[in-house]
Structure 1
């Protein structure tokens, strides 16, 4: 009977291990399941994304309109249960030397607010890059995953707790972006991610530059994020435009266009000053203030006192 019992226990152990292995799954697994159902599901998801990106690539911005579009009712298509990290899955450059793939970041509080003092001069020239005219900032080296959200993560996407710097000068994480799209628009959503991380949320954040055909400059960027508790959830497309300029997206060359207006903060603007861009951004001041409060010693002290009083009264 003892021998028979041991066999049964061993058999149960094998079955449990098999079930555990079959349950393992991640977004960019190098060894995806090859069962017919899973293959069909992954194929459908890829097809859906390709169709969506194709539609986005064919959108033309209309002067005077907003440069941000909500997708899927502003709900991310990411699965919060896929969080695994912290790390970033960087995609390789495509045949046109572009960052046309989706960089997916799995972030925690450990990755927020990389030290500004460790930033270095950027020298990477992404596809479609042009040097700015002195005094006029039109082009930015736009990060797919922001420097300030990638503390401790190196160019291979691997996290190291000993590093205080974020990702920089990484060709797989940069694209030619307008100063307006980068500093006035994308920062809105990066701040949403940052605030979630400060509040100890775990977040999946994905950024995908959208190119049309063989063009070297992206038409826009698709951003989506979700926290594991779903308190953070957005899905947007940002046009890569600049008030007062039009672009040849095949080459990235900008031309002055006085008829190019962008609706921003309920105002139609055809100029953009990077030195005071935040005055137009109704989100900026609130986010900056909250960040300062959340990092302050007074906030931490008061929070700990409140928690102590709360638990002592239970």
Structure 2
């Protein structure tokens, strides 16, 4: 009888541990964000890092926005290898797996006219239903008719027709995604440049890479690193686009935001 009671007690303890582990796992994002918040007054170790050596992503995450949404990286020269630029296999796209926080990672592609979807004039684009990490429906503007955030594609819909795919969608501001201000640059500036080039010839290819840049366990990227190079080298760029919205202060940990003026 004693052995039976001990066994039952041990099973209850084990069940309790399993339940506790499950609760911690399901709430891992909020728990980690609270840890980060508690340490915000002291030096914070980047728990995303696998080593002590700073990477390019780390350096980009540290960049400070000073009013210029787009800045050039490496003098605007992409860093693809010759192997990266091979076009023998034709066009393709590859999306990285979501990380342990459910955040999209690098998206790569070799773009070509054949991959582009039919015009929306002939086929309506499906409505986005994916809820991206850190997304909040926040209205802006005096009439509250505009939204602070878009669900921004890493590889633009116009290139491959990919739409409702969690690995390809991040929480991005309007200013990052498609800034409507005169002479302002944003992701759409470079996407349009690529699309125009691809439409010129079926023999035109563009090696393309887009990386969301996160800091620590923030759900909303600090910005997006975009790099492209055409097979004839007439089109190339290497830029970083800040994920900001003038007049707003964004909490990149959870996506909450408030007016700053």
Q: Select 2:102's aligned residue among 97, 106, 115.
A: 97
Residue equivalent to 2:135: 129
TM-superposed deviation, 1:124: 0.3
TM-superposed deviation, 1:82: 2.7
Structure 1 unmatched ranges of 5 or more: 1-46, 151-165, 259-314
Q: Is 2:217 the partner of 1:214? A: yes
Q: Secondary structure at the match of 2:147?
A: coil
Q: TM-score, normalised by structure 1?
A: 0.59
> Number of residue pairs matched?
193
Work out whether residues 114 and 147 of structure 1, in 8 Å CA contact, stay in contact via their aligned partners in 2: no
TM-superposed deviation, 1:58: 1.6
Residue equivalent to 1:61: 65
Work out whether residues 112 and 194 of structure 1, in 8 Å CA contact, stay in contact via their aligned partners in 2: no
Q: Is 2:82 the partner of 1:72? A: no
TM-superposed deviation, 1:192: 1.1
Q: Secondary structure at the match of 2:55?
A: helix
Q: Relative CO higher for 1 or 2, CA cutoff 8 Å, sep ≥ 6?
A: 2
Q: In structure 1, what is the Cα distance between the partners aligned to 2:117 and 2:132?
A: 24
TM-superposed deviation, 1:241: 0.5
Residue equivalent to 1:199: 200
TM-superposed deviation, 1:50: 6.6
User: Alpha carbons of 1:79 and 1:230: their partners in 2 closer, same or farther (altered >3 Å)?
Assistant: farther
| Superposition map of 1:33-48 within 5 A | none
Q: Secondary structure at the match of 2:146?
A: coil
| Superposition map of 1:134-173 within 5 A | 135-150=145-160, 166-173=161-168
Work out whether residues 131 and 139 of structure 1, in 8 Å CA contact, stay in contact via their aligned partners in 2: yes
Q: In structure 2, what is the Cα distance between the partners aligned to 1:52 and 1:176?
A: 21
TM-superposed deviation, 1:113: 5.5
Work out whether residues 212 and 223 of structure 2, in 8 Å CA contact, stay in contact via their aligned partners in 1: yes
Write the deviation string for residues 26-65 of structure 1: whole angstroms up to 9, x where unpaired.
xxxxxxxxxxxxxxxxxxxxx9x97111100122223xx2
CA RMSD of aligned residues (A): 1.8
Q: In structure 2, what is the Cα distance between the partners aligned to 1:218 and 1:131?
A: 17
Residue equivalent to 2:90: 85
Q: TM-score, normalised by structure 2?
A: 0.70
User: Alpha carbons of 1:50 and 1:170: their partners in 2 closer, same or farther (altered >3 Å)?
Assistant: farther
Residue equivalent to 2:30: none
Q: In structure 2, what is the Cα distance between the partners aligned to 1:55 and 1:231?
A: 28
User: Alpha carbons of 1:144 and 1:50: their partners in 2 closer, same or farther (altered >3 Å)?
Assistant: farther
Q: Secondary structure at the match of 1:192?
A: helix
Q: Secondary structure at the match of 1:123?
A: coil
Residue equivalent to 1:51: 55
Residue equivalent to 1:176: 171
Q: Secondary structure at the match of 1:182?
A: helix
Work out whether residues 216 and 252 of structure 1, in 8 Å CA contact, stay in contact via their aligned partners in 2: yes
Compare 217-226 and 125-134 and name the one that shifted more: 125-134
Q: Is 2:222 the partner of 1:223? A: no
Work out whether residues 114 and 149 of structure 1, in 8 Å CA contact, stay in contact via their aligned partners in 2: no
Work out whether residues 132 and 169 of structure 2, in 8 Å CA contact, stay in contact via their aligned partners in 1: yes
Q: Secondary structure at the match of 2:258?
A: strand
Residue equivalent to 1:108: 112
TM-superposed deviation, 1:87: 1.3
